[in-house]
Structures are given as C-alpha cells and as structure tokens.
Amino acid sequence: MKPIVIVAAMPQERDALLKVFPEHKEYVHYNTCMFETKVGNQKIIIAESGVGKVNAACTLTLLLSDFNPRCVINTGSAGGLQTGQQILDIVIPDEVAYTDVDITPLGFEYGQMMGSPPRFSTSPELHTQLNAVLAEMEHPPRCHRGLLGSADSFIYKESQIENIKANFDNQVQCVEMEGGAIAHTCSRFGVPFLILRALSDVPDKGDNAMDFNTFLPKASVMSAEICLKLVKRIA
C-alpha cells in the first residue's frame, strides 16, 4: 500500500503532528528530517518542509520521489483574510493560487505562473473524506472553503491585504507561505492533495504578528488532530 505523506512547514506544526502520531521513528535524508509511523497497515510519512515556497517544493519533490505516496496532506496554520473569520477557524481550500506572481503583461492571469493553470485544485475525494470526519465530530470547528493564497511574505499590512483582495475579487479565504508550492508540485506530478489550515490570525482583530506567535501552537494542534481523524478514515 502506498504511504500517505503529511507535510507541515514549521517545528510547532510538525511537533503537533508527532504528538498525535506518537509511535514513530526518525531519520534524515538529504538534510531533510522525516518521521515514519503507521495507522493500522497504512504507512505514514511526516516531514517538516521549512517555511516558504522553495523549501516546500524541495521537500515535497524529495518525498514524492522517495515514497510515491497515494496522497499528500498539508496541515498547519494560516492567516485569515475574510471579515467575520475567527482565530482557530479552519480553512479547507478547494483551490490554491499564488498571490505574488504577476506576469500579466505576457497575457497570463494575475497569480498564474507560465506553463501552469491560474489555480490548482485540491482532491475532491479527500474533501469527501474530510467532510465525513467533520460531520462525525461532536463540536466541529467553523470551516471556510474557497481559495487559498500563497506567497513568500507574511501578510500583515493593509496595503498587502487590499492588493490581494483587489487582484482576486476578495475570494481569498486565507494566506500562507507553502500551499502554492505544495499544490503546484502535487499537480505537476499527478498526486492528490489536500490542505488543512487553522487560522492563527485574522484581519481587523489585533496585531497579526502577535496573534500569529500566540495562537500558532493552538492552530497547529487543531489541524493535527483533524488530520489524525482524516488519516484514520482513509486508512
């Protein structure tokens, strides 16, 4: 049976995953720390990608090459971009786009990289499985769906937020720094993927950087716990 790969960007997000998958072994391959565990007979590989699109693409390409996984799940935190969102809400994007790519003078859509679609679609089958997980929870978190925006910047300035809203018709639900690369890499190599993010900060409510540092651990735990339920269901 092909393994399931789970990728998180930061140590706090990785550690939250390892806490819910406590029986694991660790090894290092090409300077990348990986953790192997099982749910029943289902092999699971967990890795910390590092922050940013290049780190995420490098790590995921290595994982796809080494393990040929049945699917990839990306968990962790993100910053909300819609009014009415609350910290620790979750976002399950249907689509992913780059918010820092602009080659529109060459006839491409804003956010579209040359040779790639304007948006990358997550796996409908994995969405169905996750919907079943959420339906079985006694107190499921508030969930937002739609478009995830990815860039190599921490989004905190009003000018950044307004630029993203303007270029994507206010469709972006949350922003982060790895999902675009994960979606791009999985799409290029034909591997189904799902992104699950808990909001560590939201617009118009406090200081984004302070909220991020405060709520990152809680957001990481929430996304990891839901990921565990999803993996058990898939396995």
> What was the pLDDT predicted at 33?
87
CA distance 195 to 72: 8
Q: What top-level class would CATH report for the domain 4-234?
A: alpha beta
| Catalytic annotation present for 13 | yes
Burial of 7: CB neighbours in 10 Å, binned 0-12, 13-18, 19+: buried
User: For the whole model, what pTM was predicted?
Assistant: 0.91
CB 93 within 8 A of CB 148: yes
Element at 70 (helix H, strand E):
none
pLDDT in tens, 96-145: 999 999 999 999 999 999 999 999 999 999 999 999 999 998 888 899 99
| Catalytic annotation present for 201 | yes
pLDDT in tens, 33-67: 899 999 999 999 999 998 999 999 999 999 999 99
pLDDT in tens, 214-231: 666 777 888 888 998 999
**Among the options 48, 89, 178, 201, which is catalytic?**
201
Which tokens go with 188?
């290029």
Q: Could you tell me the pLDDT band of residue 10, with boundaries at 50, 70 and 90?
A: confident
